[in-house]
Amino acid sequence: MVLNLESKHDLEDFKSYILVEKNFSEHTAKAYYADILAYLIWLDNQACEDVNFSKVREYLHFIQIFNYKKTTIARKIASIRTFYKYLHREKKIENNPAESLISPKRPKSLPKFLTMEEIEQILNNINIETPAGYRNRAILELLWASGMRVSELSGLNFGNLNLENNEITVFGKGAKERIILITDRAKRYLQGYIDYARPLIAKGYILDPITDTTPVFINKTGYRLQTRMIRNVINDIVEKIQLPKKVTPHMFRHSFATHLIENGADLRVVQELLGHASISNTQIYTHISMQHMKEVYNETHPRA
């Protein structure tokens, strides 16, 4: 199969559009780019600008053979719709052939979360006697205390910290800025990491002077700690304590939101703390809390 040259140019321009103008995250932009690239390859030498609705539908029938999940199909449809919407905006096409596409209903699944006991079990089994161990404890304390995304934590610079007021500025999806709050305990571990553990993390390496753009969390060579390493830290602890759950960094975010709701936090406040664009994304945590209440009820009520 041959990729049409004009379509290739359209794809590169589209990538710039969703990154710069639409403020898509790198992860989402990469997924959309891959979706459209696969679509253009399937079109072969046919220009994407000469496609009608029937041709787009034909492609969607074609990808059924790969047995993608409904969420993946929905994303691919969203990618194509956004791509053609962009081409229409740029006046490269007169009619949008993807405008009438309908995404499959996504299965509703409740996010998994950790109980207070499980969180404390994880935190208390981190060896803080080493610089890396103390760093890891500070990281998980922050994830649990703030509900920030692991990518937001990895991207923290010293200029984002306002520890005097227990505040941290983070940049979420689409580079949206928000202020999150942290507990005194999380602040103590973070301050201890900065003062004592961080200078010892990169043994044998000279660290640059701290400025507003200096990364807070670093690896053993002094560079910014990546999200993959944070996931590995959690995996190692969970395996060590043999917790019967697959734990991800995002579960700390889910747990943060769930426990706030359970303890009476206003939904709008939780929305702001999580950085959700729509409150509908936050409302799912009320369902988690209700499910948890039902489980407790069924386990403890003598007539249940």
| DSSP output for 129-141 | TSHHHHHHHHHHH
Question: What helix, strand, coil percent values describe the chain, rounded to 5?
Answer: 60, 5, 35
85 bridge partner residues: none
Phi, psi dihedral angles at 96 (to 5 degrees):
-85, 110
The count of other CB atoms within 10 Å of the CB of residue 149 is: 21
Residue 10, class by beta-carbon neighbours within 10 Å (0-12 exposed, 13-18 middle, 19+ buried)?
buried
Catalytic annotation, pick one of 22, 88, 173, 287: 173
**CA proximity to 129, closest of 179, 180, 200, 185:** 200
Residue 144 near residue 247, CB atoms below 8 Å: no
Q: Is 285 tagged catalytic?
A: yes
For 240, the token pair is 């060590």
Catalytic annotation, pick one of 22, 250, 287, 292: 250
In the block, residue with structure tokens 């509908």: 280
Phi, psi dihedral angles at 95 (to 5 degrees):
-125, 140
Residue 18 near residue 82, CB atoms below 8 Å: yes
Q: Is 254 tagged catalytic?
A: no
Catalytic annotation, pick one of 149, 187, 198, 259: 149
Alpha carbon distance 27, 6 (integer Å):
25
Q: Is 173 tagged catalytic?
A: yes
Alpha carbon distance 257, 267 (integer Å):
9
Catalytic annotation, pick one of 85, 92, 276, 287: 276
For 277, the token pair is 């664009």
Q: Is 292 tagged catalytic?
A: no
Q: Is 27 tagged catalytic?
A: no
Catalytic annotation, pick one of 39, 134, 189, 285: 285
Catalytic annotation, pick one of 81, 198, 253, 259: 253
Residues acting as catalytic residues:
149, 173, 250, 253, 276, 285
